[in-house]
Structure 1
Amino acid sequence: MNSTSPRARRLAVPAALVLVAGMAFGPGVATASPSTVPACAGLDQMRIPASVMSLPTTGGRVTSASVKTGVVSGRTIEYCQADADIFPVDPSAPAIKMRVALPHGWNRKALMFGGGGYNGTIPDLTMNVPFGPADQPAPLARRYVTFASDSGHQHGPAAVPSLDGSFGMNDEAVRNFAAGDALKKTRDASLFLIWHAYRTNPAEVYFSGGSTGGREALVVAQRWPRAFDGVISAYPAWNNLAEILDLGYLAHVLSRPGAFPGPAKQTLLYDSVINACDGLDGVKDKVISNPRGCHFDPHVLRCPDGADTGPACLSDPQIKAVTAMSTPFRWPYRIASGETGYPGFPFLSGADMRTPFLGFGSTAPANPMPATSGYGMQYWEQWVKYFLTRDPNHNSLDVDPRQPGKWLDRISHLSTIQDRNNVDLRPFARAGGKLIMLHGAADELVSHRSTNEYYQRVRDLLGTEVTRSFMRYYLVPGANHANFGAPAFAAGWDSLSALERWVEKGQSPVSPVVADVNHNRTRPLCEYPAWPRYRAGEPDSASSFVCTR
């Protein structure tokens, strides 16, 4: 690994800052020999100058640094864990809490993890990348430096930490989270600590995240194209405000009398979709490989006379509800981000509705919002209370995304912060960056149709040839959101090694294979819009399928 490569030089901490910050270590610190063992004790209580961060802060400080030993991916790893606070400009805003894991035997690479939901906690630095393989070590076990932050706020006593949106009352906290400002601040502070730990800079710096973290991955590639060499973006909630408006509309639909399909009816719908469309790809395996080829009419499940007569059928209000879930939502007004709608969720194209928490939930939306309602319904309520109205007592069902009335201006303003929809990734491509994007075709929480749209926008702007020079997008049949629960296909692929080969050796991914980590089977990982079609042979082997359009 060559630390003097052009990208490595761009990642370096400015020499003047190293000299100033190094004064506490005594003469000669700036010329100390590089090491693969971190100088952990020297990091404790270290001041992080505001000048090392490209966005406004009032500096930061390491709050603790200690050597830890843990088993990561079956390997015993010794590393220095440094926790730090990055201080806000607004004294009423919370600090960004960040953490860096600096391994002994460092491989000269670093990886930043993104968050999930509303964030509010520091991600586990020992985890794998989204849809990571079961048979390959996590980044820290590979001796990567790993780092992350809580994105600039700490969750309260919410039953699900990632569903606490109370930080939305503060503008700086909102920008840190939704616009991604905390990402660059954390990256800059982490590289400063890496230099002081090892006396050298990483040769490569990568980013990996899913859901909110997937949006964050696209944010860093677009806003700071020279900050990361490679990015993994999984099931990205890139048009966050647009999706929230759809979630709000669906909360209204599902709260109507008799409209909510309980868990038994959700299972009925799921099984019916599978029965209707499984096999269209050439093999019956409980996986719908070509969602766009699956056309299912929920009216075949209609109860006699449309009345709710039990779990074996759907009433007319329930048919309207599930149809609304899977239909694009368009709003009849303009918002500043330019978004005009959200493409709907793939519940009628094979989503696993046996994980109701991420989809419908097991209880209809109401005021107050039940903890057993769907994740998206609770996300909507938090947004209305803290981002939109900034009234914790506001009834979220009183806000109608189709006719927001006095809230329209605020919605439009928030769209400029939360819809990260600038698809001009040419600066990232010119800087040598590589992007791998993944999504499960059965995602219940972030629609894969939305990611399809993002990818198509990039191709429309940059052209097919330029897009393929730095970007790959794979849609995984049967995979749901983050392999939650018991998906039809629990995806596992070594995207990190593929990204390393692309960035470091110029070898783009060729015929990748994804495994079902819950079953002994594999499938070709097809580059969108292709999908795997069975041709002949063992149905559990990727070699029996061909990517087709």
Structure 2
Amino acid sequence: MRNRFRIRRSPAIVSVLFAASAVAVSGCGGNDAAPANVVAVTPAAKCGALAGMNVPASSIGLPTTGATVVSATLVSDTDSANRNGEYCKVLGTIHPVDFNAPDIRVEVDLPTNFNGKAVHFGGGGFDGTIPNTEGSPFDGFSSGAEPAGVSTPLRRGYVTVGSDSGHEGTILDGSFATNDEALANYAGDHIKKTHDFSAYVAKARYGSDFVHSYYIGGSSGGRQALIAAQRFPNDYDGIISTYPASGITGLWLQMGRISRSLLAPGGYVTPAKGKALLAAIMKQCDALDGVADGIIGNPAACAFDPTVIRCPGGGDTGDTCLSDAQIDTMKTAGSPLDLDFSLANGVQTFPAYNAFTGADFWSTSLAWGTSAADAIVEPGVIGKSAFYYTFSNDMLRFAVARDAGSSILNFNSANPGSLTSRVQAVSALMDSTGTDLSQFQSRGGKIILQHGQSDQFIPAQLSIDYYNRLVSRFGQGPLSQFLKFYLVPGAAHGFGGQFNGAYDGLTALDNWVTTGIEPKDLTITDLTPTTAGRTRPMCEYPQWPKYIGGDQNLAASFLCSN
């Protein structure tokens, strides 16, 4: 049973909070200088006064039993491990209605040089840990990294916020989903609860509300970013959604379908075989964008037949070829999943991966595991188990069937039979495929949607499909006024692509929100060690970067083309 606790504020703490609020400057609240004849309260005192504070349930917009600030620690600018300037690190817990559900663990970092704005960091996988709010969010395609000279949001004066989404665990552990409130928190409720907790704490520290609030996330965090715009439009002014798992229900159904081929007798494609496949694909398709640079710039022009590297006779005869069973695995990954029923918002298909245009499923063992035997290790072990198998299996066992004995390897993704209605209910709870962004649009909200063409976890076509549905609803012109969509060739899921690009997405978004300057002529920089520093233009969909001559490592040598 969880050890739940409440800490009451003493009169002394209340008086310090009152004194702190008395000297806080309205607006940004970043100037800690005291007015004349008022005793100054130091940042350390303001920070320490937050410890033990109770946040009432009435201040959180979804049902809870309140929240508690567990600790508040001032991190000095001179701390050898700190690159963010002076800030107050607040750890808190948001308490559920169902006592059997876990708390939501939250971190709120409050910079002394507050700029009036906040960045809410999204999670990933099954979440279970608080994102690194002291680092960089997924505003690009290189995990936790930014181009040279780009500071963290916290260093720039943003309040940074993140949570574990309502349970402790790893990105491979879905056991929490047997509890309805924990599942609802993971699905999206934690976004609102975390936002309201952080806003309450920040106002207690600075004496003012956020001037602007942004949500930035990738993968499941990208899904969360879209949910923030769809369900909580009044809380956020700007969104960056990077390779979002928008149709997360279709995603695990498709991952389960692929796992059945991958783990069938003889179907496992090893990293060595994957390397041979990728080499054959690059040989045929790399130069279709005008230059052989290790990046397939225009995947739509690439039509690769995997039988080109079929082993003689179809058996497994070595690392340089694929057997018939392994070709079947790749064709499964490279084909859509058509459903016999509808998911949320009328979705009836989940798209194919770019399995024959650059997606590298072997760049990390996280995707398909280290071997056929290791892939199915339960509970999931990072560096051994396959995310495709573990994620789909846990979604089936814990969120849908509520039966730990169920197996995705015996499950029909296209037709779940008696579990169809439950799959649909979970889809309605979790998927961020809705196109009603009208409230977010009407209040001036801005969205940057972006996906890598070599994504090995979430197919780029998923974001293309979502974008096209938005175009159908809003029209191209009106949509472009508040949403920009970028596809980046060679970029993967935070790592493992041919072009692990990064750019200062937060500044692009902030400028759009605060000054009305639309993102334009953006350049993205490769951070891959062997090719670090080369640049490419970020092309708005449906354009792609075509080589027009010059240094192939420079964005100026490419033109966004239809």
Question: Normalized against structure 2, the TM-score is what?
Answer: 0.89
Q: Bigger shift: 28-37 or 534-543?
A: 28-37
Can you list the C-alpha shifts for 1:404-446, whole angstroms capped at 9, x where unaligned? Answer: 2222221121111122211111211111111011111100001
Counterpart CA distance in 2 for 1:239 and 1:526 is 24
Shift of 1:25: 5.5
Corresponding position: 1:351 with 2:359: yes
Q: Please list, as runs of the form range in 1=range in 2, the aligned pairs for 1:265-344 lying within 5 A after superposition.
A: 265-335=273-343, 337-344=345-352
Counterpart CA distance in 1 for 2:439 and 2:240 is 17
- Pick one of 350, 369, 382 that aligns with 2:394: 382
SS at match of 2:491: coil
Where structure 1 has 5 or more consecutive residues not aligned to the other structure, the ranges are 1-21, 156-160
Q: Please list, as runs of the form range in 1=range in 2, the aligned pairs for 1:465-476 lying within 5 A after superposition.
A: 465-476=477-488
- Pick one of 504, 508, 511 that aligns with 2:514: 504
Corresponding position: 1:545 with 2:536: no
Going from structure 1 to structure 2, the CA distance change for 1:72 and 1:153 (only over 3 Å counts) comes to farther
State whether residues 367 and 456 of structure 2, in contact with CA within 8 Å, keep that contact through their aligned partners in structure 1. Answer: yes
Corresponding position: 1:517 with 2:527: yes
**1:7 aligned partner:** none
Can you list the C-alpha shifts for 1:200-224, whole angstroms capped at 9, x where unaligned? Answer: 1221111110001100000001111
**1:443 aligned partner:** 455
State whether residues 337 and 414 of structure 2, in contact with CA within 8 Å, keep that contact through their aligned partners in structure 1. Answer: no
- Pick one of 82, 93, 109 that aligns with 1:101: 109
**1:411 aligned partner:** 423
State whether residues 259 and 317 of structure 1, in contact with CA within 8 Å, keep that contact through their aligned partners in structure 2. Answer: yes
Counterpart CA distance in 2 for 1:336 and 1:139 is 34
**1:176 aligned partner:** 185
**1:139 aligned partner:** 153
Taking only the aligned residue pairs, the percentage that are identical comes to 38
**1:33 aligned partner:** 24
SS at match of 2:461: helix
State whether residues 101 and 182 of structure 2, in contact with CA within 8 Å, keep that contact through their aligned partners in structure 1. Answer: yes
State whether residues 252 and 400 of structure 1, in contact with CA within 8 Å, keep that contact through their aligned partners in structure 2. Answer: no
**1:53 aligned partner:** 60
SS at match of 1:162: coil
Counterpart CA distance in 1 for 2:84 and 2:186 is 34
Can you list the C-alpha shifts for 1:2-28, whole angstroms capped at 9, x where unaligned? Answer: xxxxxxxxxxxxxxxxxxxx9665768
State whether residues 361 and 367 of structure 2, in contact with CA within 8 Å, keep that contact through their aligned partners in structure 1. Answer: yes
SS at match of 2:372: coil
Q: Bigger shift: 220-229 or 357-366?
A: 357-366
Amino acid at match of 1:259: G
SS at match of 1:232: strand
Shift of 1:359: 3.6
**2:258 aligned partner:** 250
**1:530 aligned partner:** 543
SS at match of 1:466: helix
**1:460 aligned partner:** 472
Amino acid at match of 1:460: S
State whether residues 263 and 356 of structure 1, in contact with CA within 8 Å, keep that contact through their aligned partners in structure 2. Answer: no
**1:8 aligned partner:** none
**1:207 aligned partner:** 215
Going from structure 1 to structure 2, the CA distance change for 1:75 and 1:27 (only over 3 Å counts) comes to closer
Can you list the C-alpha shifts for 1:77-126, whole angstroms capped at 9, x where unaligned? Answer: 11111111111111111111111001111122111100010001111111
Going from structure 1 to structure 2, the CA distance change for 1:239 and 1:24 (only over 3 Å counts) comes to farther
Shift of 1:193: 0.4
Counterpart CA distance in 2 for 1:267 and 1:210 is 26
Can you list the C-alpha shifts for 1:27-55, whole angstroms capped at 9, x where unaligned? Answer: 68766532425510110000101111111
Q: Bigger shift: 397-406 or 414-423?
A: 397-406
**1:488 aligned partner:** 498
Shift of 1:252: 1.2
**1:158 aligned partner:** none
Amino acid at match of 1:469: Q
**1:151 aligned partner:** 165
**1:120 aligned partner:** 128
SS at match of 1:146: strand
Shift of 1:466: 1.1
Can you list the C-alpha shifts for 1:312-340, whole angstroms capped at 9, x where unaligned? Answer: 21111111110110111112234455221
Counterpart CA distance in 1 for 2:93 and 2:239 is 25
Counterpart CA distance in 2 for 1:354 and 1:143 is 39
Counterpart CA distance in 1 for 2:18 and 2:454 is 58
Amino acid at match of 1:308: D
State whether residues 84 and 134 of structure 2, in contact with CA within 8 Å, keep that contact through their aligned partners in structure 1. Answer: no
Counterpart CA distance in 2 for 1:479 and 1:26 is 47
- Pick one of 148, 167, 186 that aligns with 2:176: 167
Question: Normalized against structure 1, the TM-score is what?
Answer: 0.91
- Pick one of 420, 432, 439 that aligns with 1:427: 439
**1:363 aligned partner:** 371
SS at match of 2:481: helix
RMSD between superposed Cα atoms in Å: 2.0
SS at match of 1:377: helix
Counterpart CA distance in 2 for 1:240 and 1:69 is 40
Can you list the C-alpha shifts for 1:210-263, whole angstroms capped at 9, x where unaligned? Answer: 001100000001111121111111000011001111111111111211111111
Counterpart CA distance in 1 for 2:432 and 2:24 is 41
Q: Bigger shift: 72-81 or 194-203?
A: 72-81
Where structure 2 has 5 or more consecutive residues not aligned to the other structure, the ranges are 1-12, 33-42
Can you list the C-alpha shifts for 1:389-415, whole angstroms capped at 9, x where unaligned? Answer: 222333332222134222222112111
Counterpart CA distance in 1 for 2:473 and 2:352 is 24
Shift of 1:289: 0.7
Corresponding position: 1:65 with 2:79: no
Counterpart CA distance in 1 for 2:137 and 2:484 is 16
Q: Bigger shift: 132-141 or 330-339?
A: 330-339
Going from structure 1 to structure 2, the CA distance change for 1:231 and 1:76 (only over 3 Å counts) comes to closer
Shift of 1:356: 4.2
Counterpart CA distance in 2 for 1:26 and 1:361 is 51
Q: How many corresponding residue pairs?
A: 520
Counterpart CA distance in 2 for 1:233 and 1:503 is 15
Amino acid at match of 1:416: A
